[in-house]
Structure 1
Amino acid sequence: MPFPFTLPTTSSVLLSDFFESATHPSLPLAATTKRSVLKDALKKHKRLTPRDQAAHLPAIQSAIVGYIPYLLALNAASGFGDVGIERVDLGVKNPLEVEWRSTLSATLPGREPPRPRLTGLHHETAFILSTLAYTYSLLARSQLRMLHEAVTLSNEQRTTAISTAMKHLLEANSIHKYLLSLPTVSAAKDAPPDIQPSTISAMASIALAEATLIVVSKDDPYAAAVSDDRNESNRDWMFKAPSIPKVRAHLFARICLAAADHAGQAQGLLGPGRIDADLVKYTADLQKTARGKAARFLAIDAELSGKTGEGLAWLQGARKELGLAFEVKDGQRKGLKGLKQSWQERREDKRIEKGGERGMDAGKLEETRVVEMLEAKWDKENSTINVQIVPPCEPLLASMPSGREYHSPQPYLPPQLDAGTLALMRAPPGPEERAFRGDEEDSGDEGYAGKRSEPVGAFPGSSHEYGRSGTSQSYY
């Protein structure tokens, strides 16, 4: 399950205060209108409930895609470049100053993320394209959520949801890679943590790791069997046993190892203390889940070859890769560590039932349940039928094969202004023509669901007493 990014919000800006064009005087006003539509959409999105936010994502995507051609036209013209085949003369009256909510930065609990004032079009471009990439990741998340929330899904519906999510994640990866190719973005020294080159590169690796891991999820019958077994609405067990077809286990293991490599690269790029702790932990769990899946598929490959003892050793290695320190005997967790793990899983299940975000552990809990199901089944068979020796898992883990890439992401091609639209901007704006500034208030305090966030330690309902006055920039 992809990470649940929080989309940033931004301040209101009149671009004609910073840019003027002798050849296309309507361009700054038209760009301001498109940007204001996006600003309103982002602020409205933040006030929605989590369930309504998923349905609102296409509106965010449409608003960003509508603004990008005008932003890139301003960016190209300010650097004395051509917009398409047409020359645009653009003058910079003042450096662009804009505020963006830094949602990936590490903040104190209970505090809103900072909203720094940024100077330059390159920061605006970085935040706009990063927000579009986060939107694609959230669209992929909404597709995969259907696999967990829907009561019954046909094989065609399941395949369509997974394929659509994979396409969205690859698009997010391409956008991040495109951002890194922009010299003004990759060389920026004063950028906040959200749009620093190391963070953008990490986001590209995370998106590619998630898209790679989805490949095996499409044809992984074991995870689906565990999900059906835990689904109280499922009644298939009454008239048929779960069908577990043979899988290309060794190939799936190598694909999972490639995903683990990408997650490891992202983990090395996200410095602790700089980036949100939930994202850093998710990246570490993503690598553990990918390596745990790889060990589990190698166990399946060994078991299909009649090597049940070696398969059990691989499952022990999978538990080691997942970071599970408890012992399992006769299908039951033993010791205080096993008791603690069971308690954490029950707490996670209750949190999800109450509407909490699913997949914050990158699927580690689901993979743990699959490994335990196979270990209990094979251990029982090995004790009664095969009676094979279970070798130690450490030498097996050291002999893991190399990862195999599955995807070949295509480069991102941003939308451009067509010649007809650009030609219409040669006409000067009328005396009464003004840019749309948006319907949302331009406030730095954007509380969830329309409520102003309470300061830390404040009595509930007294947040108005802690606001800034009109003449002072201090809270006190």
Structure 2
Amino acid sequence: MPFPFQLPTTSSVLLSDCFESATHPSLPLAATTKRSVLKDALKKHKRLSTREKVAHLPTVRDAVINYIPYVLALNAAAGFGDVGVERVDLGVKNALQTEWRTTLCATLPGREPPRPRLIGLHHEIAFTLSTLAYVHSLLARTQLRMLYEASVISAEQRTSAVGSALKHLLQANSIHNYLLSLPSVSAAKAAPIDIQPSTISGLASLALAEATLIVVTKDDPYAAAVGEDRNEGNTDWMFKAPSIPRVRAHLFARISLAAAEHASQAQGLLGRSGSAAGKIDEDLIKYATDLRRTARGKAARFLAIDAELSGKTGEGLAWLKGAKKEMGLAVELEDGKRKGFRGLKQSWQERREDKKVEKGGEWGMDAGKLEEARVVEMLEAKWDKENDTVNVQLVPPYEPLLASMPSGREYHSPQPYIPPKLDAGTLAQMRAPPDPDEAAFRGDEEDSGGEEGYGTRSAEPVGAFPGTGREYARTGTSNSYY
């Protein structure tokens, strides 16, 4: 369900050419090595297939975490501050110039996102920590993916997957909030769209909305029942109607409304982000919009369950219609089946989403809206049949019910992010001068500036055999194009 962020790539930079330290001369060289490892990991991650990227995410995470202490130490020393308990004297030889490829910027189809040139350590820190937050969101996706796969999972596995995803999303939220607390980052109004304060704040709200919404997923038996019902490998021939206590149904509704509030805040912040550098990708804004709709639809569904458990089946059916209205899926049912073109379109979208989950593609771009629609329609078909044969209650209009929704209830208390720091032993080792014959590690991967679609054109003519470019070159005396 979390948004499938694309990890950025970066250029190769020698930090030892920009900084020098009289007290810790090995610090710039060690920082260059850690940064080169991160550059290689990001570059390799971009070339992998979708399934291979899932297994490579921990490698990228470790590379980012290992580099953060060094770049923060350089930033603290450059501001005439202490690194831990030691005083580090750091001088600036040249202005630091790096290039990071933006991944949240809207671009034309088939083109690489721009890679602007950035000056200063604050931009380097912002992109590095943002990359770590993206990695945590992607790790949460890998945990939640098993909830939508064809295989049947136990309740313990479901709880473990949701718990792990919850930790990753809260960590992503804490990292974004930490970035906003840095004065150099929060004041960078002319920064690329990815690290502008409004974008970072919107991403923090989006991560908190996702973390709040999956709280109810852990103990939601109706969603699990729908997943097992459409699973062809499920051998359970008896179906027991799931049930949850009435008090928890109302509590889940309020938690879902809190998630909708955070998603609405993220939608507003991301939609307002933009500058001369570009605008936010429409897919991200649409995802935030769908997440708000899904959360409000889920809240209405839990309020419907609360009403049905009280014996008010007619009111419960009205809440279910309101849930579909909130999600923008006002599809009428006839004998438990969809009708009309909109029903056919929704069925096609659900089958397409199922194939994405099976093949490992970019599933979940609807923020779980189609999956929630299946749960609503399952309950509507079941209760409508019961109401026609047993209860026979009138179904009131749903508009007054939606207007009387309760307020949201916060579930999480996010903890502040504490970045990793250099320990005293490692910092003490950097007092020794580097070996004169020791060269800085530049990485095994080529600079991302040479990626296809960016920068200079290839030296080889199109269709030429490698190494024969000179034979196709035009001479200085020839004016012929043939």
- TM-score if structure 2 supplies the norm length? 0.91
Q: Deviations over 1:209-243 (max 9, x none)?
A: 0110110000000000000011000011x2x2235
Q: Which residue of 2 aligns with 1:177?
A: 177
Q: Which residue of 1 aligns with 2:11?
A: 11
Matched, 1:307 2:305: no
Distance in 2, matches of 1:309 and 1:377, equals 12
Matches within 5 A, 1:148-163: 148-149=148-149, 151-163=151-163
Question: Aligned partner of 1:315: which letter?
Answer: L
Q: Deviations over 1:67-113 (max 9, x none)?
A: 00000000001111111111111111121100001000010111111
Tell me which moved more, 381-390 or 335-344: 335-344
Q: Which residue of 2 aligns with 1:197?
A: 197
Distance in 2, matches of 1:360 and 1:148, equals 14
Q: Which residue of 2 aligns with 1:364?
A: 369
1:396 Cα deviation from its structure 2 partner: 0.3
Moved over 6 A (4+): none
Q: Deviations over 1:379-403 (max 9, x none)?
A: 0100110000100000000000000
Distance in 2, matches of 1:453 and 1:349, equals 32
Q: Deviations over 1:399-443 (max 9, x none)?
A: 000000000010000011111111111111111112211000113
Aligned equivalent of 2:353, options 321, 329, 348: 348
Q: Which residue of 2 aligns with 1:207?
A: 207
Q: CA separation of 1:34/1:463 partners in 2, compared to 1, >3 Å: closer, same or farther?
A: farther
Matches within 5 A, 1:34-433: 34-149=34-149, 151-236=151-236, 238=237, 240-247=238-245, 248-271=248-271, 274-433=279-438
1:118 is paired with a residue of what secondary structure?
Answer: strand
Q: CA separation of 1:463/1:406 partners in 2, compared to 1, >3 Å: closer, same or farther?
A: farther
Structure 1: runs of 5+ lacking an equivalent: 447-451, 456-460, 470-476
Distance in 2, matches of 1:328 and 1:154, equals 31
Asked if 2 retains the 8 angstrom alpha-carbon contact of 1:174 and 1:409, the reply is yes
Q: CA separation of 1:402/1:197 partners in 2, compared to 1, >3 Å: closer, same or farther?
A: same
1:444 is paired with a residue of what secondary structure?
Answer: helix
- TM-score if structure 1 supplies the norm length? 0.92
Q: CA separation of 1:463/1:365 partners in 2, compared to 1, >3 Å: closer, same or farther?
A: farther
Matched, 1:25 2:25: yes
Q: CA separation of 1:380/1:464 partners in 2, compared to 1, >3 Å: closer, same or farther?
A: farther
Distance in 1, matches of 2:212 and 2:462, equals 48
Q: Deviations over 1:284-331 (max 9, x none)?
A: 000000000000000000000000000000000000000013322322
Distance in 2, matches of 1:316 and 1:152, equals 30
Distance in 1, matches of 2:427 and 2:207, equals 34
Asked if 2 retains the 8 angstrom alpha-carbon contact of 1:453 and 1:463, the reply is no
Question: Aligned partner of 2:83: which letter?
Answer: V
Structure 2: runs of 5+ lacking an equivalent: 273-277, 456-460, 470-482
Q: Deviations over 1:450-472 (max 9, x none)?
A: xx4699xxxxx94999xxx9xxx
Distance in 2, matches of 1:454 and 1:28, equals 29
Question: Aligned partner of 1:253: which letter?
Answer: A
Asked if 1 retains the 8 angstrom alpha-carbon contact of 2:50 and 2:361, the reply is no
2:91 is paired with a residue of what secondary structure?
Answer: strand
Q: Which residue of 1 aligns with 2:474?
A: none
Tell me which moved more, 373-382 or 330-339: 330-339
Matches within 5 A, 1:437-456: 437-446=442-451, 452=452
Asked if 2 retains the 8 angstrom alpha-carbon contact of 1:454 and 1:463, the reply is no
State the aligned residue count. 454
Question: Aligned partner of 1:262: which letter?
Answer: H
Q: CA separation of 1:71/1:346 partners in 2, compared to 1, >3 Å: closer, same or farther?
A: same
RMSD: 1.9
1:98 is paired with a residue of what secondary structure?
Answer: strand
Asked if 1 retains the 8 angstrom alpha-carbon contact of 2:9 and 2:448, the reply is no
Distance in 2, matches of 1:105 and 1:341, equals 29
